[in-house]
A = this chain, B = another copy of it.
Amino acid sequence: VYGLAARADAPIAHLVARITLLTDFGTQDGYVGVMKGVIATIFPGVTIDDVSHSIEPGDLTGAGRVLARYWKRYPPGSTHVVVVDPGVGTERRAIAVEAEGRFIVAPDNGVVSRVLDLCQDASIVSLENPEFLLVTRSSTFHGRDVFAPAAAFLASGVHLCRLGPAVAQPVRIEEPASIVEAGVMVGQVVALDRFGNLLTNLAGSSVTEGSGVEVDGRTVQVVSSYQDIPPESVGAIVNSDGVVEVAARDTPAAAILNAGLGTPVRIPDPVELPDL
């Protein structure tokens, strides 16, 4: 909302375009520097924001969850690059997505599934127009040869449709959904964060403070802030994504509960049964 007025001034708006990077490259090998250099060569005035280069190698589901968290927090006109690409060098497509005014450039391996779930009318093209790719294309580093140039051209104002033909059926990743069985919501742990907190696929709207959540059969009380969790214990909280998270204060909740990805989490008395 704020600041968009400034973007109406075209020459300035051109200068303030932003590209974000999300990869599993780490930083120590310099591949991130290569991508930034390719982008800066095509579009010298662009701002490049690192989101992360420490995605677990090949973790498409995790990267997709992270992308879903920030893509729409950026203003329209922003371009998000995602390179988690175990299939680099094979026939897998490279795609660009336009969704609610933001662009996403990524391999067609399901890493944008969550964004596509959230935005039904996204436009998707396959990155095939050689005019917008590097001339030399390796079989191991499409971050440099395909995704960085495509992002730089999109950010500089090239229309999505010029990058290649439309894609009707992008690759999707199925993610576990929570279900309701006999009035009980049944979900699971779908991610761990840096602090060892357990993120679930249960909507936060189905719990209230003081109610209980069962993690692998053990009841955990819903609290309203991390500091309401007793020392050495765990608590459930509605997190900033609006989902139920099981957290602890010092020892990671994952360790206290011996829980991890896939651990079942149930809400015996859901407040409302949301349509998920």
Contact = CB atoms under 8 A, between A and B. Distances in A.
Interface residues of A, number: 82
Contacts of A54: 26-28
Contacts of A139: 224-225, 237-238
A86 to B, nearest CB: 7
Contacts of A45: 6, 12, 15-16
A99 to B, nearest CB: 14
A49 interface: yes
A90 B225 contact: yes
Interface in A135-164: 138-141, 144-145, 152, 156
A49 B40 CA distance: 10
A117 interface: no
Interface string A216-245: 000000001111100000000111100001
Interface of A: 1-4, 6-7, 12-13, 15-16, 18, 20, 22, 25-34, 36-38, 40-45, 47-57, 62, 65-67, 69-75, 78, 86-90, 138-141, 144-145, 152, 156, 193-195, 224-228, 237-240, 245, 249
Given A18-B40, A144-B240, 20 more contacts: A4-B44, A12-B45, A15-B16, A26-B54, A29-B52, A33-B51, A33-B52, A34-B73, A37-B70, A37-B72, A37-B73, A37-B74, A37-B75, A40-B74, A47-B48, A89-B226, A138-B239, A139-B224, A140-B226, A140-B239
